[in-house]
Amino acid sequence: MINPLDWDLGNVPPGVAWGGVDEAGRGAWAGPVVAACAILDNETVRKWGHVLRGVRDSKQLKPERREALAAELKAILPSYGVAEVDSLAIDRENILEATMMAMRQSVANLALQPRILFIDGNRGPRTGLPERLVVDGDALSCAIGAASILAKAHRDALMIGMEEPYPGYGFGQHKGYGTALHRVRLQELGVSPVHRISYAPVAGLQRVDADLRDALHHSLDRCTTVVELQAWVVSDLRPAYGGLKLVWVETLRRRYADRLAQVAVADLAKESE
């Protein structure tokens, strides 16, 4: 089988920088979806080809090797970008659109823009750069494989970090995916603020609270400035998220938008006085 680095070199014009884009966490029940973009060029290949030839699809690597390789890639790549889209946005947009958002943002975070991007999968995020879709690209392309390693290592670290604020769920073990352990802990503890309530297995295990929903409506109505509204999302909505039905959240979003428009109108009236 052709080495992924050789596949890249055979599919890009000579002398140009190219990139690979991939995601991690699309199928998880909890936590963000993370996308990464890894940039390569001929100079990097010349100096660090021995490292790049060890790049594989992140799922084929043991966690320790993946973390070590992610650190190496961050040191040798001419540029890379990583972006997260959280569970609230996943539930609002759907996971496909949230993934595309994360991919676009990972490219926007680059310090060096490539001439072409290889995108893992069969749908492009429409970054504004030339894109080539590569099904199973994390196994075929070195740049996509590097992106998959960066995205997976980044997301794993995030999920391990959720052990402290959300103890008992086992996020450090299953990383938010739908394992038997995860299901048992959801049954025992209920749904946390970082779970994706648009996912049927999560919604089926929710303990919803209508009083909590009503309290959120009242606290939202008390917000009189844009700063207060933004703070409400962090201090009120996010902590309560796991106890809300998705339809309640959508109603709160519409009410938030209406409240934001009311505040903006009031601010304009004050400015014109």
For 140-177, what is each residue's pLDDT tens digit? 999 999 999 999 999 999 999 999 999 999 999 999 99
Instruction: Provide the pLDDT for residue 271.
Output: 66
Q: Are residues 124 and 13 in the same domain?
A: yes
Q: Are residues 144 and 195 in the same domain?
A: no
The predicted-structure confidence for 78-99, as pLDDT tens digits, reads as follows 999 999 999 999 999 999 999 9
CA atoms within 13 A on the CB side of 95: 18
Sheet holding 116-120, edge to edge: 79-85, 33-40, 18-24, 116-120, 131-134
Instruction: Provide the pLDDT for residue 172.
Output: 97
Instruction: Provide the pLDDT for residue 58.
Output: 75
Q: Are residues 187 and 124 in the same domain?
A: no
Instruction: Provide the pLDDT for residue 107.
Output: 98
Q: Are residues 105 and 227 in the same domain?
A: no
Q: Are residues 22 and 131 in the same domain?
A: yes
Instruction: Provide the pLDDT for residue 272.
Output: 64
What angle do the packed helices 63-76 and 42-52 form, to 10 degrees? 160
Q: How far is CA 212 from CA 104, 240, 253, in A?
A: 35, 7, 15
Buried-exposed string 80-100: b where 16+ CB fall within 10 A, e elsewhere: bbbbbbbbbbbbbeebeebbb
Q: Is the pLDDT of residue 23 over 90?
A: yes
Q: Is the pLDDT of residue 201 over 80?
A: yes
**Is 58 within the bounds of a domain?**
yes
**Is 63 within the bounds of a domain?**
yes
Name the pLDDT band for 9 (thresholds 50, 70, 90).
Answer: very high
**Is 95 within the bounds of a domain?**
yes
Q: Mean pLDDT throughout 107-129?
A: 96
Instruction: Provide the pLDDT for residue 56.
Output: 80
Mean per-residue pLDDT of the chain: 95
Q: Mean pLDDT throughout 248-262?
A: 96
The predicted-structure confidence for 59-82, as pLDDT tens digits, reads as follows 888 899 999 999 999 999 999 999
Query: Helix or strand or coil: residue 172?
Result: helix
Q: Are residues 100 and 121 in the same domain?
A: yes
Name the pLDDT band for 51 (thresholds 50, 70, 90).
Answer: very high
Q: 165 Cβ partners below 8 Å, 6+ apart? A: none
DSSP strands (E only) in the chain: 18-24, 33-40, 79-85, 116-120, 131-134
Quote the number of domains for the chain: 3
What range does the domain containing 224 cover?
210-272
Q: Are residues 110 and 66 in the same domain?
A: yes
**What percentage of the chain exceeds 90 in pLDDT?**
92
What angle do the packed helices 210-221 and 246-272 form, to 10 degrees? 10
Instruction: Provide the pLDDT for residue 1.
Output: 75
Q: Mean pLDDT throughout 111-130?
A: 96
Q: Is the pLDDT of residue 269 over 80?
A: no
**Is 166 within the bounds of a domain?**
no
Q: CA torsion sign, 48 to 53 to 59 to 64?
A: negative
Q: 158 Cβ partners below 8 Å, 6+ apart? A: 31, 32, 34, 84
Q: 29 Cβ partners below 8 Å, 6+ apart? A: 176, 177, 178, 182, 186, 195, 196, 199, 201, 202
Instruction: Provide the pLDDT for residue 59.
Output: 80
Q: Are residues 102 and 184 in the same domain?
A: no
Instruction: Provide the pLDDT for residue 60.
Output: 81
Q: Are residues 57 and 146 in the same domain?
A: yes
Q: Is the pLDDT of residue 228 over 90?
A: yes
Buried-exposed string 161-174: b where 16+ CB fall within 10 A, e elsewhere: ebeeebeebbbeeb
CATH number at residue 87: 3.30.420.10
Q: Are residues 197 and 247 in the same domain?
A: no
Q: Mean pLDDT throughout 180-206?
A: 97
Q: Are residues 194 and 248 in the same domain?
A: no
Q: Is the pLDDT of residue 273 over 70?
A: no
Q: 75 Cβ partners below 8 Å, 6+ apart? A: none
